[in-house]
Amino acid sequence: MAVGVFTGVDGPVGSFSGKITLSVVITCIVAASSGLIFGYDIGISGGVTTMQPFLQKFFPSVLRKAAEAKTNIYCIYDSQVLTSFTSSLYIAGLAASLVASRLTATIGRRNTMVFGGLTFLAGAAINGGAANVAMLILGRILLGFGVGFTNQATPVYLSEVAPPKWRGAFNTGFQFFIGIGVVAANCINFGTAKRSWGWRLSLGLAVVPAAIMTIGALLISDTPSSLIQRDKVEQARHALRKVRGKDCDVESELAELKKASDVAKEADQEPFVTIFERQYRPHLVMSIAIPFFQQLTGINIIAFYAPVLFQSVGFGNDSALIAAIILGLVNLASILVSTGVVDRFGRRFLFMEGGIQMFVCQVGVAAVLAVTTGVSGTKEISKGYAILVLVLMCIYAAGFGWSWGPLSWLIPSEIFPIKIRPTGQSISVAVNFATTFVLSQTFLTMLCHFKYGTFLFYAAWNALMTIFVALFLPETKGIPLDSMNLVWEKHWYWRRFVCVGSGSCSDTEKEQQKWPWEDSAASMDLSAASVARSHFRSSGDHMHRGCF
């Protein structure tokens, strides 16, 4: 059922029949389950680091400090050593995500996911059996490698396999599984918190999501484009037939993939160099800005702070974890909303709506805390106000769940041409982890000193990122991956960077193509080179036609 054709400068460039096969649904669900391990870790580490027996064994100084700081709700967990433990995962993940760019190109997206799952599994086993801090950190580094690999490979996998018309919906599956991991971990923490060995079980049980996703990944085949790139033409044909449906003639798509791969092999340049070319500036900016802003929404801060806040206002350990579980469930439901509307309303609308919603909630939380706990944070907050804060946090979590949560994985995986897609995704994951690292290093100290002002800080970032999206992010819904260049060519600002490719530059834009030191002769060469490169981009990428 053809429902639309995207018309590019050279005519129709892809058809959108929107055909979803059972096989593509199952394949994408299985692939998206890789998000489980990241989510599990996020959920578990927050809870475990507040468990008394865990702190007693590994970080006794934190407990002493907690006893002294009892009167100030903002400073209880301000401990550098505890923060370093949590964030060691992000440094390891950052390194792994950069290596993953090469890995996904040479061993494929699917195998990188398997590799990540196995590494995470090893880390979980070591953490569960940890006898000292060194084992704890070693395990955490392995967990970090695991999520570095899977977070890089999975979104690319999903975007390459999904039908373009529903790419957004399929891709949100990754964030959905992250959310399931978070909720599962919170529930497990809830069950284990009261036992002296509970932390061991919480950390060790990470082998379960790791085993699920690794076995799952072993059961699916790699993406057709990745198989072709690795000269596995027969397997690629088989994989295409499977996801597009048996009655579908996949030969033309296969031929396009082959062409793409041949051209990519001819242009033998290091992708980490290519990605810095001027024509890829818009892509590069997005792959950095989107994950950077995602972290500055303050999601991890809210997630971390919710249990601490509720615990410190006397709701007790249980209620603190229950608050975290409620937040997690709201988040999950809202990701499903995103799945339902992302390909209808588009990415820009969700980003902006979510940004405004989070801004309002952050300001609200800051105001309630300022009024109730006082400037110093020493006054008791009443249960009624604590519930109001929880409600605001839930509305915030919903905003994140249908916008910056899933879309921050989607955008970097869909905007790049095939040749530098893994590299773009690697940069994006690395930025995500680096920002998480810096924020987690500074958040507790910031909370301790700026108190409720911390939430205003994040509110300001939410306002800024909403303006950024309004001005600079083009709409990518429904556009086949191979035609994505057109969205930049039509964009009021980015056009000047990419218009050479379509030969549609105005004179002013041609001038803007020049670097300051170029004379006109050199600039003509540059333009010719850009046209050639751009031709490679549009002809060499994945042409989706016919069956979806």
Is residue 279 close enough to count as binding ligand BGC by CB under 6 A? no
Nearer to ligand BGC, 58 or 409 (CB): 409
Stretch that binds ligand BGC, among 177-185, 218-226, 384-392, 497-505 (CB under 6 A): 177-185
User: Which residue number is nearest to ligand BGC in terms of Cβ?
Assistant: 42
Q: What is the C-alpha separation between 287 and 281, in angstroms, rounded?
A: 10
Q: How far is the CB of 62 from ligand BGC (least distance, A)?
A: 22
Q: How far is the CB of 291 from ligand BGC (least distance, A)?
A: 7
Q: What is the C-alpha separation between 134 and 127, in angstroms, rounded?
A: 10
Token pair, residue 447, equals 């909370």
Token pair, residue 43, equals 């959920």
Among 154, 172, 175, 462, which residue interacts with ligand BGC (rule: CB under 6 A)?
A: 175
Among 156, 178, 289, 415, which residue interacts with ligand BGC (rule: CB under 6 A)?
A: 178
| Closest C-alpha to 37, from 84, 80, 96 | 96
Is residue 179 close enough to count as binding ligand BGC by CB under 6 A? yes
Token pair, residue 72, equals 């100030």
Is residue 42 close enough to count as binding ligand BGC by CB under 6 A? yes
Nearer to ligand BGC, 49 or 300 (CB): 300
Neighbours of 519 (CB within 10 A): 8
Q: What is the C-alpha separation between 441 and 336, in angstroms, rounded?
A: 31
Single-letter amino acid code for the residue at 204: G
Is residue 144 close enough to count as binding ligand BGC by CB under 6 A? no
Nearer to ligand BGC, 135 or 322 (CB): 322
Q: How far is the CB of 36 from ligand BGC (least distance, A)?
A: 12
- For residue 513, CA distances in Å to 95, 276, 285, 533 come to 34, 15, 17, 14
Stretch that binds ligand BGC, among 109-117, 174-182, 208-216, 308-316 (CB under 6 A): 174-182
Stretch that binds ligand BGC, among 119-127, 175-183, 198-206, 455-463 (CB under 6 A): 175-183
Nearer to ligand BGC, 97 or 300 (CB): 300
Size of the site for ligand BGC (CB under 6 A): 13
Nearer to ligand BGC, 290 or 547 (CB): 290
Q: How far is the CB of 401 from ligand BGC (least distance, A)?
A: 8
Stretch that binds ligand BGC, among 101-109, 127-135, 208-216, 293-301 (CB under 6 A): 293-301
Helices (H) and strands (E) in the chain, counts: 26, 2
Nearer to ligand BGC, 351 or 548 (CB): 351
- For residue 367, CA distances in Å to 375, 381, 389 come to 11, 13, 10
8 sits in which H/E element? strand 5-8
* Interface positions, 429-488, toward ligand BGC (CB under 6 A): 432, 436
Q: What is the C-alpha separation between 133 and 49, in angstroms, rounded?
A: 13
Q: How far is the CB of 419 from ligand BGC (least distance, A)?
A: 26
Is residue 46 close enough to count as binding ligand BGC by CB under 6 A? no
User: Measured between alpha carbons, how far apart are the two ends of the chain, in Å?
Assistant: 9
* Interface positions, 309-368, toward ligand BGC (CB under 6 A): 331
Contacts of 247 (CB under 8 A, 6+ apart): none
Q: What is the C-alpha separation between 103 and 119, in angstroms, rounded?
A: 14
| Contact indicator for 455, 74 with CB cutoff of 8 Å | no
Q: How far is the CB of 400 from ligand BGC (least distance, A)?
A: 7
Single-letter amino acid code for the residue at 492: W
* Interface positions, 203-262, toward ligand BGC (CB under 6 A): none
Neighbours of 527 (CB within 10 A): 16
| Contact indicator for 301, 459 with CB cutoff of 8 Å | no
Is residue 300 close enough to count as binding ligand BGC by CB under 6 A? yes
Neighbours of 262 (CB within 10 A): 12
Nearer to ligand BGC, 329 or 370 (CB): 329
Token pair, residue 26, equals 């199952």
Stretch that binds ligand BGC, among 5-13, 132-140, 173-181, 500-508 (CB under 6 A): 173-181
Among 405, 424, 480, 501, which residue interacts with ligand BGC (rule: CB under 6 A)?
A: 405
> What residue ranges bind ligand BGC (CB under 6 A)?
42, 175, 178-179, 182, 294, 299-300, 331, 405, 408, 432, 436
